[in-house]
Amino acid sequence: MFKKLFTLMFALFIIAFLTTNITIAQTSTALFNTLNADLQSPVKKTTYPIFSLSPMIGVQFPLGNMNNTYKTSFTGGLDVNLQVNRETSFFLNASYYDMPIKTDLQGPGASVIGITVGPRYTFSGPQLKAALFLEAGLGVYMFHTQDFTYTSGGVTYDVPSASTTNFGINVGPGVTIPAGGTVNIIIKIKIHDILASGGSQTFIAGVAGVDFRL
């Protein structure tokens, strides 16, 4: 599991490295034309705050006790982000995490809906095309188990669905890559810890999506 996490994080930072550090050689004529165009065009000043919406999809990896019961599956969600200056943003995220039961176990599948808010700090610079960021969130996680039927000793039992709501936290790195105009590609990996009374439930989610500036 941690090998998968390391691979995801390594791939994320490789993408950021290649995007931010590869420079394309320019001929002297092209360089002159670029500089001349910059001198003639007024510099656009960024106005804050900036709102953006980011639909995302990815995968979740259960850890610890959750990994004993549930297997890796998909996740999807939506970020609403408010950028107040070059480095600082605040996000509101709503996500759905599918938690299917492992095939060798008998029991109900589950799902988690998380609604969290928190700050995002971006490491950026005028020469960087992509921007790395680190964010942390706090909010509620609604854990839902499906109804389930099983037979024991010739008797069939029906187990109704159930839902519990607990606070939880999440933290992790990400990167935004300009795709043109007001559109960016966003990739992030976060570890989520649900603070349940019977013990915390932990999983990792890696997602990618498109960030639309409004």
66-94 residue pLDDT tens: 999 999 999 999 999 999 998 999 999 99
Give residue-wise pLDDT tens across range 127-179: 678 899 999 999 999 999 999 888 887 888 888 999 999 999 999 999 999 99
Identify residue 3 by its one-letter amino acid code.
K
State the Cα–Cα distance between residues 137 and 91, nearest whole angstrom: 8
Count Cα atoms within 13 angstroms, Cβ side, for 38.
6
Domains and CATH numbers, the chain: 2-22+48-213 (2.40.160.20)
How far is the CA of 184 from the CAs of 9, 132, 164, 212, 214, in angstroms?
19, 13, 36, 7, 12
Question: In the prediction, which pLDDT does 149 show?
Answer: 87
State the Cα–Cα distance between residues 167 and 170, nearest whole angstrom: 11
Question: In the prediction, which pLDDT does 24 show?
Answer: 35
Question: Both tokens of residue 29?
Answer: 């004529």
Query: At residue 211, does pLDDT exceed 50?
Result: yes
Q: Model's pTM, two decimal places?
A: 0.81
